[in-house]
Amino acid sequence: MTDRPNTWPCERESLDLLIREVTALRSEIEKYAAKAVIPEGVHDKYRKSAINLVHYMALRKLDLRHLQLLLSEWGLSSIGRAERKVMATMDSLLEVLHQLKGVAWQPPVPPPVCHREGRKLLEDHTDQLLGEHPSGRRARIMVTMPEAASTDMGLIARLLDNGMDCARINTAQGTPDDWFRLIGNIRKAESRTGRKCRILMDLAGPKLRTGEIEPGPEVLKVRPVKNQLGQVVEPAMVWLYPEKIEPTPPTEAKAALPVNGGWIRKCQPGDVLSFRDARGSKRQMAITSATQQGALAALGKTAYFTSGMKLRLTRNGEKIKGKKPHTIGQLPPLDGFINLKTGDEILLYRIPVPGKGAHFDENGILHPARVCCSIPQVLDNAATGESVWFDDGRIGGTISGIAKEYIKVSITHARPQGTRLRSHKGINLPDTDIDLPALTDEDKAILPFVVKHADLIGMSFVNRPADVDDLIELAKAECQRSAVEMPGIILKIETRRAFDRLPSLLLIGMKAENLGVMIARGDLAVECGFERLAEVQEQILWVCEAAHIPAIWATQVLEGLAKQGLPTRAEISDAALGQRAECIMLNKGEHIVEATRSLDDILRRMQDHQTKKRSLLRKLHLADKFFSNS
């Protein structure tokens, strides 16, 4: 039978060609899928999802752009939204093409996942992992718990009232006692607000970090409030207290200074303290009030205080002497840092040496900056020419030399004035073959606590399917010992290796009863390159949808709003794009309640406009206004 007469005025390819190409495509998918091995032990609820994931990966092994254009000329599906039901999409397309030609066609076997079934599988898996979605909003909101939440149950209640559905606890910070108090407050806040809250506990994993850096000087800078002309409009109030007691400064104090002896208790309002600060500048402070706990003094000019600095106390213009000189007590040292500029070198040590900036020794020889690596064995596979990134990509460089005790890194990316590198900042080696297990000894030690108290376990720096298998087996064994239900598993995709192996990680993860993925965009951007992040996060969303696995959109969402109280326009757009995931995570910040409320509002507004890759064509008020004005 030939094509029906074509009365359509626009040119388009014949149905015969389309049927041949789509049939060939379907055969290619089956051929590639037959080569894939679905692991034994996949949970019953994920069996169809595993098959659909394999079909999707087979589909995406091919370049379909030309075929998509041909299909669109006939107003047919472009296969661009086939993630949840690959073979059902192919079979429906072939059936329609044959009907247009006037020929009956049926698939040789039923597809593993039908159209509505694919959507329902993802929805069911999300409900089981993250809890039922709130009214009027499909995507859940996860919030990283700030330190204050362990002592302030009201903060958690406000977060729940403003839209939080899941609380994240980072086990890289705090102790089991801290986590226990925090979890208790979350459960109390649930009772107060009547809202349920899932708890995710992140295992820290093998995070590469810089070691300790030599501390800075023992100095405290105090400055008064100035206007735009540099004129002092408000003095800086300094609390001085005997160094052997705990300071209890009044609320108006901007700084607290320990002083030697108890002479400060004898000060009176109107007394004056004179001194030369660390720069040799002459300065004075006037005592405004005094108690047995200490004295409050007004400082009219910026001063740099150091440990042991001498003070001169005068009353009515006359010096008041003591048994010992009046001095500043021991001040805490400033955090040390290394300032790195493009063209500088830094030695990344395998041995635990204290970090230090570039310096000359007593012989006048210049030594480059140095810092050690928290997991030195990862440097064994490093090679010259590979890239190294520090502090979430703020500083970048290339390995220019390798020695027994260190690798030499030439800095290629930093601010013109230099970027400060501090202790315990992240190190990324995206080009280096790192083969570290994702579970550290510390992770295994806290696993009994986590399975007893958490609804979800976050696996950080997962790289291999074996990592996922290990966690599932250890968690199952611990759950049996403790007679508790198995928490859900969240795979945090934050390295290039994890991204490259995502389908295999998901297939092994399907051995767990509940599985999810977190797109950890901070480390992922450094590992894959900032310019590739948009592409990478899209691909993760597609693969997770094909596996019917909920995805969590994480890192720096509304960060400006959460930390400074004011979002950027780009942040609002990014948060709206996150609606395509099943959950969006906010990091902690001083304004986290406002950020949660804003995210809830954004997601509710986007609910009717977007779901996954598909735009929803709800009625637009903009169209009403256009025609009402015509």
Check residue 607 and give its pLDDT.
79
3-state class (DSSP) for residue 69: helix
Same domain, 445 and 299: no
What confidence tens digit (pLDDT) does each residue in 268-286 have? 999 999 999 999 999 999 9
Indicate whether 212 belongs to any domain: no
- Give the number of residues written for the chain: 630
Long-range contacts of 151-157 (CB under 8 A, 24+ apart): 151/181, 151/185, 152/185, 153/185, 153/188, 153/189, 153/192, 154/189, 155/593, 156/185, 156/186, 156/188, 156/189, 156/197, 157/189, 157/192, 157/193
E strand intervals along 244-293: 255-259, 272-276, 282-291
Q: What is the pLDDT of residue 374?
A: 94
Same domain flag for 473 and 598: yes
- Expressed in angstroms, the distance from the first to the final Cα of the chain is 50
Task: Supply the pLDDT for residue 246.
Answer: 86
Shortest CA distance to 472 belongs to which of 455, 483, 459, 463? Answer: 459
332 inside domain: no
Name residues of the chain where pLDDT drops below 50: 1
Q: What is the pLDDT of residues 443-458, one digit of tens each?
A: 999 999 999 999 999 9
Give the single-character DSSP code of 355: B
Q: How far apart are CA 269 and CA 249, in angstroms?
A: 16
Give the count of domains, the chain. 4
pLDDT score at 622: 54
Final residue of a domain: which of 428, 461, 489?
A: 428
How much is the pLDDT for 1? 45
312 with 266, same domain: the answer is: yes
* Secondary structure class of 214 (helix, strand, coil): coil
In this structure, the number of other CB atoms found within 10 A of the CB of residue 218 comes to 17
Question: Are both 358 and 440 inside the same structural domain?
Answer: no
Domain boundary among 89, 113, 137: 113
Output the domain CATH number for residue 191: 3.20.20.60
Is 87:55 a contact under the CB 8 Å cutoff?
Answer: yes
Contact 511, 39 (CB under 8 A): yes
Residue 551 has a pLDDT of 97
pLDDT on residue 3: 53
Please give the DSSP secondary-structure letter assigned to residue 174.
S
By the 8 A CB rule, do 236 and 255 touch?
Answer: yes
Is 624 within the bounds of a domain? no
Structural domain range at position 319: 219-327
Domain shared by 462 and 593, yes or no: yes
Structural domain includes residue 2 = no
Residues 487 and 579 occupy one common structural domain:
yes
Is the same domain home to 343 and 316? no
Indicate the residue among 307, 327, 347 that finishes a domain.
327
Question: 329 burial class (0-12, 13-18, 19+ CB within 10 angstroms)?
Answer: middle
Q: 189 and 230 share a domain?
A: no
Q: Which residues of 456-470 are buried (b: 16+ CB within 10 A; e: fewer)?
A: bbbbbbbbbbebbeb
Same domain for 241 and 305: yes
Angle at the Cα of 366 from the Cα atoms of 364 and 368, rounded to 5 degrees: 160
Same domain as 317, residue 250: yes
* 318, β-bridge pairs: 315
134 and 235 housed in the same domain:
no
SS3 annotation, 488-555: EEEEEECCHHHHHCHHHHHHHHCCCCCEEEEEEHHHHHHHHCHHHHHHHHHHHHHHHHHCCCCEEEEC
Q: Which helix (H) or strand (E) holds 34?
A: helix 15-35
